Structure 1
Amino acid sequence: MTGGAGETPPEPGRLIAANVVRWRRYGEGGQELRPGTKSYRGGSKVYVIDTYAGTGHEALTTIGRGRHTGRYITIDMATRHLHTFRAVPVHSPTVLRLCLEADVGGCWDTRGDAEELAARLERTAAEYRASWWAGVPHPTPCRCHDCLTGGALTPG
């Protein structure tokens, strides 16, 4: 088991953090709303440790505190369920250890690289949210991320 008393802590690094959308559209025609995702509570902070550029960054590998246990989990999730991407220094030994165990790269060497990818992921997530239910009216009242932040492209 890792994390023993004689083990040296991982070096601090820089990851991309994001928050899980508080509410997301769901179901037939996007007329239902669900808080957060199945694995994370709405508003939870997660760390992005890998992206899938080959699929247009549609999915990401994340580390965050799980909805049901409060313990850190590592899962792949849809980019559209995240917002407010930003580059942050990470000092948490648990997050850094899980990042190393996932063996996907994770930490960025320079702040500029991390900030550039964070900006790209923010744009991509907004585009995926807008296109996911394109042409379908929002439920009334709607508390989806785009309606709460004023980013909805089509009033509904």
Structure 2
Amino acid sequence: MDSGEREIPVEQAWLIAANVVRWRRYGEGGQELRPGTKSYRGGSKVYVIQSYAGTGHEQLTTIGRGRHTGTYITIDMSTRNLHTFRAVPVHSPTVLRLCEEADVGGCWTNREDAEELAARLGPLAAEYRTTNWATPHPTPCRCQECLTLSRG
């Protein structure tokens, strides 16, 4: 670094990180399985942006690396397609910029608020996954619930 350049301090904000389900139920009665989602690969880490609209949380605004381009994208997606919600400090300038540019809210300024919502979103996502399909799981099934049950 030259003496003429100044180092830009890295900002920090709190976001909720989650992972995209590896397999999701799809199609007639949920009997087909698809890897990940149309926009994200299964297992991808995404960041959930704070949303002020509504309290149902069926849809969340996320920032993550897109399936096809590998660049960061901001999209709304179903909560049922996410799991393992946790509060994390974010230092990435790109993620922080996209968070500020989003019209839905922004980043959390303290850890406690992010942790509180992350704790609520985990059970909500599991509930949305089970209530979305009224039919039994296909055999064999690799959806998030079945994968979780086979590990325990």
Give yes or no for TM over 0.5: yes
Q: Which runs of 5+ in 1 are unaligned?
A: 152-156
Match of 1:87 in 2: 87
The structural deviation recorded for 1:55 is 5.5
RMSD: 2.1
Q: 103-112 vs 50-59, which deviates more? A: 50-59
8 Å CA contact 2:100–2:107 kept in 1: the answer is no
Q: For structure 2, which runs of at least 5 residues remain unmatched after alignment?
A: none
**Partner of residue 35, structure 1:** 35
Residue 54 of structure 1: SS of its match in structure 2?
A: coil
Task: Give TM-score, length-normalised by structure 2.
Answer: 0.89
Aligned length in residues: 146
The C-alpha deviation readout for 1:92-134, integer Å capped at 9, x for no partner, is 1110011111143321122111100001111110110010113
- For residue 128 of structure 2, what is the amino acid of its counterpart? Y
Is the CA contact (8 Å cut-off) linking 2:53 and 2:104 kept in structure 1? Answer: no
What is the distance in 2 between the residues matched to 1:98 and 1:124?
Answer: 25
Q: TM-score, normalised by structure 1?
A: 0.86
* Residue in 2 that maps onto 1:147: 146
Q: How does 1:1-156 map to 2 (within 5 A)?
A: 11-51=11-51, 54=54, 56-134=56-134, 136-150=135-149
User: In 1, distance between residues paired with 2:121 and 2:106?
Assistant: 15
Percent identical residues: 81
**What is the rounded CA distance, in whole Å, between the counterparts of 1:13 and 1:120 in structure 2?**
20
SS in structure 1 of the partner of residue 64 of structure 2:
strand
- CA shift, 1:54, in A, is 2.0
Residues 50 and 62, structure 1, Cα contact 8 Å, conserved in 2: no
Q: Give the 3-state SS of the residue equivalent to 1:69 in structure 2.
A: coil
